[in-house]
Chains A and B, each alone.
Chain A
């Protein structure tokens, strides 16, 4: 539950006190955070002597794995035919004790809110994702100097955005200002012993100033304002997909680095006398993703799969949930795509697209292929 701005609380955390508070919080929370790994950063669970590297710029993979591990056991059973409960699947024990993600970027926290729309629905709740979400406190770190690939402000987020965060930390050189955004956030700061209250008005003004200059530093924008009113078929039948898909090598890197991609596969394994059902991250880029056992494949061609990716992110998602696009502008896929496919260009193309003549698009199909 978000705390109203009128009751806003901002805490000052001296950097000299930071490590001590982190250590205190470990007694209650499993901590996750950015850690240097080779020449980049990854998000992972922090052992007792490891501290989140708050100087990090960006992590190769987003922190989505805190709630949605790359590979996760979902069901277990005995495969021993002599036993009684043989072949009766039950979920494995799960750890739902509190966890905190330290230093998550605001746009990555917004991504969690978008992914929530998939895993927490009216009809079904994914118990693994939802329990992990419930157990997690998101302690965000505002981005003072956005990267050249950051287009979060035009993708429904921003370097100081608060959506999805329980605390927003703002790095003010020798200290952090910690803006409390939820009860969970308040509890985390209490547990860590961070309780030096600042005058909320004055501190918030500092934050606002820094926010303005961070947002000004963002040089990359996408246009999305016309996407909503275009029909699915107009965009689907647009002529540019062939060109966009041409260089794609179907590697799926874009999906793995994306904080909003949630597709998964389910696979079984038997080892000795135990059968396990796993779910693993998946990607819509290879043909196998949709291939029927008959061999028929509704997205057998690369152009169909590339189009699926961008139509899902920029059109289907908003049509389904009315929550904007399924992209928060982190820039990871732009940076990591081995053939330089750039979601910003595609979004702008889709947004600006006008079918040449009426018969090109929006036409009701007379027959099923």
Chain B
């Protein structure tokens, strides 16, 4: 019987400070055993439990992309006991990763469709994984137009800045980077909140379009009417949720929303599915 609680041992290979306020760091892990890397075969939109023995575990979305081999990456906000400990760890330290967990984005359903990606703040990790996956030459022709709105408080709070600016230059993805505000006179992208940019820049929905929305609750709340005004049905709006978790495999009982377990049945749901639940997230 496979033990789903036993983490794969990994070594921290690289640590990058991800935002100007140093509250987010991106950790690159390599597996100590090659076989574990093969077993950790994931889809964009899945998550894993980062496991520090003696300290605890935290569920974090996978920021690297399935096409990136040899490592996995997670961008972690320093907030509680485990994330604070992780932020103090150094390259070469050994810890664990348990996963991949959750359903991930519905790539079967998304194939052949226009994809709209809407992200805010720290919630861009699995979206970054998804974009890198779709832009891979082997995958790009499996999707039609890709439109992205990504916003943060200020330019220095945007995650994965180098990649964002590279994607800006490409013609097979329409980037709309925005910040709430900036005093940088050379800022050449958008200024304004995500919902407003969505309304101004995102194409109207047709039957072949899906919007994936990840962000803080306030952004999600105001993005919904914006999408609605563009003709998006609730079945075309895909969201990735977070709830407090422990086991990550649907057993410990705390992440449920009605009968749905966010860790196992989710974390990805359509708004149509969520409308049938008590909305406890």
- Given A125-B1, A263-B253; A87-B278 close (CB under 8 Å): no
List B contacts of A265 (CB < 8 A): 246, 252
A135 shortest CB reach to chain B, Å? 13
For B, the interface residue count at a CB cutoff of 8 angstroms equals 54
List B contacts of A369 (CB < 8 A): 221, 279
Q: Is the CB of A233 within 8 A of B276?
A: yes
Chain B residue with the shortest CB-CB distance to A267 = B56
Report which of B57, B95, B217, B254 forms a contact with A289, defined as CB distance below 8 A.
Answer: B254
Q: Is the CB of A368 within 8 A of B279?
A: yes
Chain A residue with the shortest CB-CB distance to B95 = A87
Q: Is the CB of B9 within 8 A of A88?
A: yes
List A contacts of B7 (CB < 8 A): 89
Tell me the complex Cα distance, A316–B7, Å.
30
List A contacts of B252 (CB < 8 A): 263-266, 279, 282
List A contacts of B131 (CB < 8 A): none
Tell me the complex Cα distance, A126–B243, Å.
21
Q: Does B280 contact A (CB under 8 A)?
A: yes
Q: Does A284 contact B (CB under 8 A)?
A: yes
Q: Does A90 contact B (CB under 8 A)?
A: yes
A292 shortest CB reach to chain B, Å? 6
Q: Is the CB of A284 within 8 A of B5?
A: no
Q: Is the CB of A118 within 8 A of B251?
A: yes
Chain A residue with the shortest CB-CB distance to B9 = A88
Q: Is the CB of B256 within 8 A of A74?
A: no
Q: Does B195 contact A (CB under 8 A)?
A: no
Q: Does B240 contact A (CB under 8 A)?
A: no
B5 shortest CB reach to chain A, Å? 5
Interface membership of chain A positions 80-98, coded 1 if the CB is closer than 8 angstroms to chain B and 0 otherwise:
0000001111110000000
Q: Does B188 contact A (CB under 8 A)?
A: no
Q: Does A367 contact B (CB under 8 A)?
A: yes
- Given A87-B53, A91-B6, A124-B251; A290-B96 close (CB under 8 Å): no
Report which of A123, A127, A289 forms a contact with B250, defined as CB distance below 8 A.
Answer: A123
- Given A264-B253, A270-B54, A365-B279; A232-B258 close (CB under 8 Å): yes
Q: Does B277 contact A (CB under 8 A)?
A: yes
List A contacts of B185 (CB < 8 A): none
Q: Is the CB of A89 within 8 A of B242?
A: no
Q: Is the CB of A292 within 8 A of B275?
A: no
Report which of A119, A269, A319 forms a contact with B54, defined as CB distance below 8 A.
Answer: A269
Stretch at the interface among A13-21, A156-164, A294-302: A294-302
Q: Does B182 contact A (CB under 8 A)?
A: no
List A contacts of B274 (CB < 8 A): 368
Q: Does A248 contact B (CB under 8 A)?
A: no
Interface membership of chain B positions 1-35, coded 1 if the CB is closer than 8 angstroms to chain A and 0 otherwise:
11111110100000000000000000000001000
Among A265, A266, A284, find the residue whose CB has the most chain B CB atoms closer than 10 A.
Answer: A266
Q: Is the CB of B251 within 8 A of A123?
A: no
Q: Does A131 contact B (CB under 8 A)?
A: yes
Q: Is the CB of A319 within 8 A of B247?
A: no
Q: Does A275 contact B (CB under 8 A)?
A: yes
For A, the interface residue count at a CB cutoff of 8 angstroms equals 61
Q: How many pairs of residues, A versus B, come closer than 8 Å at their CB atoms?
A: 155
* CB-contacts of A285-337 with B (<8 A): 289-294, 296, 298-299, 304, 308, 311-312, 316-317, 319-320
List A contacts of B224 (CB < 8 A): 367-368
Tell me the complex Cα distance, A267–B54, Å.
8
Q: Does B75 contact A (CB under 8 A)?
A: no
Q: Does A79 contact B (CB under 8 A)?
A: yes
Q: Does B114 contact A (CB under 8 A)?
A: no
A299 shortest CB reach to chain B, Å? 6
Report which of B83, B96, B242, B264 forms a contact with A123, defined as CB distance below 8 A.
Answer: B264
* CB-contacts of A258-288 with B (<8 A): 262-270, 275-277, 279, 282, 284
Q: Is the CB of B251 within 8 A of A119?
A: yes
Q: Does A1 contact B (CB under 8 A)?
A: no
B231 shortest CB reach to chain A, Å? 16
- Given A90-B6, A275-B54; A266-B247 close (CB under 8 Å): yes
List B contacts of A121 (CB < 8 A): 250
Tell me the complex Cα distance, A282–B247, Å.
13
List B contacts of A126 (CB < 8 A): 4, 251
- Given A262-B253, A266-B252, A293-B80; A79-B54 close (CB under 8 Å): yes
Tell me the complex Cα distance, A269–B55, Å.
7
A9 shortest CB reach to chain B, Å? 32
Q: Is the CB of B253 within 8 A of A284?
A: yes
Tell me the complex Cα distance, A75–B8, Å.
13
Q: Is the CB of A282 within 8 A of B6?
A: no
8 closest A-B pairs by beta carbon, nearest first, are A275-B54, A263-B253, A270-B54, A293-B80, A316-B259, A298-B280, A275-B53, A320-B259
Besides A127-B1, A268-B55, A369-B221, 20 more A-B contacts (Cβ < 8 Å) are A87-B9, A87-B93, A88-B94, A89-B51, A89-B53, A91-B3, A125-B4, A231-B276, A232-B277, A265-B246, A266-B247, A275-B53, A282-B253, A282-B254, A290-B255, A293-B83, A294-B79, A319-B259, A368-B220, A368-B224
Q: List 13 A-B contacts (CB under 8 A).
A: A75-B5, A88-B53, A90-B6, A91-B6, A118-B250, A118-B251, A123-B264, A127-B3, A268-B52, A279-B252, A316-B256, A320-B259, A368-B220
